[in-house]
Amino acid sequence: DAGITQSPRYKITETGRQVTLMCHQTWSHSYMFWYRQDLGHGLRLIYYSAAADITDKGEVPDGYVVSRSKTENFPLTLESATRSQTSVYFCAGTAGTASYNEQFFGPGTRLTVL
Amino acid sequence: AQTVTQSQPEMSVQEAETVTLSCTYDTSENNYYLFWYKQPPSRQMILVIRQEAYKQQNATENRFSVNFQKAAKSFSLKISDSQLGDTAMYFCAFGGATNKLIFGTGTLLAVQP
């Protein structure tokens, strides 16, 4: 148990719709991350958060919005979904503030945009 | 910017044999960390092994060991006595001055009975 849950596990939506993927943690991870996994690209960082109300862009932030009003929740919103956002999304967290700290991953959400 | 390269998209190994997965990286930082993550068909990301760049000794975790060559910026993973449960996608990752991880594109390992 990595202490991170994601919901939903699977989601199908249509182009142009707003979608929110939820991430909840129970281990008091200070840092939290959103990645997308695509074949041939590995995992790419979308956004991350160092603490409540502190967020920053990763490698592929366009088309996504995040918030972190509470330490335990880190939702990812696709404001107007596009087919290119079809992917598997992972939320991750790390307890420490040093880069050697292991990142713990949630089970992932498979999103399909039609 | 840091980059991580895994040049072997797919590999296959017979059960009980040894296999080595390759990873190279590029960075100008001197202090950093390297990781191998395993992703089985369940999709869960699992940390396999971690290496601190300031340590010359290669990390080992049971059947898993690394060959860390700092000057060559190489970080390969050796799996000994391969088991069917080792079948998975393996990702190499770099952790530097920030808390962000940079992942390679992955190597899909199939362990054959």
Q: Which of chain A's residues have a Cβ under 8 Å away from the Cβ of B51?
A: none
Query: What are the pLDDT digits (tens) for A15-61?
Result: 999 999 999 998 777 899 999 999 888 899 999 998 889 999 999 99
Contacts of B15 (CB under 8 A, 6+ apart): B82, B83, B84, B111, B112, B113
> Which chain B residue has the Cα nearest residue A41?
B105
Query: What are the pLDDT digits (tens) for B13-37?
Result: 999 999 999 999 999 988 899 999 9
**Distance between A37 CA and the closest CA of chain B, angstroms:** 9
Q: With helix as H, strand as E and coil as C, how does B22-73 read?
A: CCEEECCCCCCEEEEEEECCCCCCEEEEEEECCCCCCCEECCEEEEEECCCC
> Which chain B residue has the Cα nearest residue A101?
B99
Residue with tokens 């592929």: A60
Buried b (16+ CB within 10 A) or exposed e, A80-112: ebeeebbbbbbbbbbeeeebbbbbbbbbbbebe
pLDDT of residue A1: 59
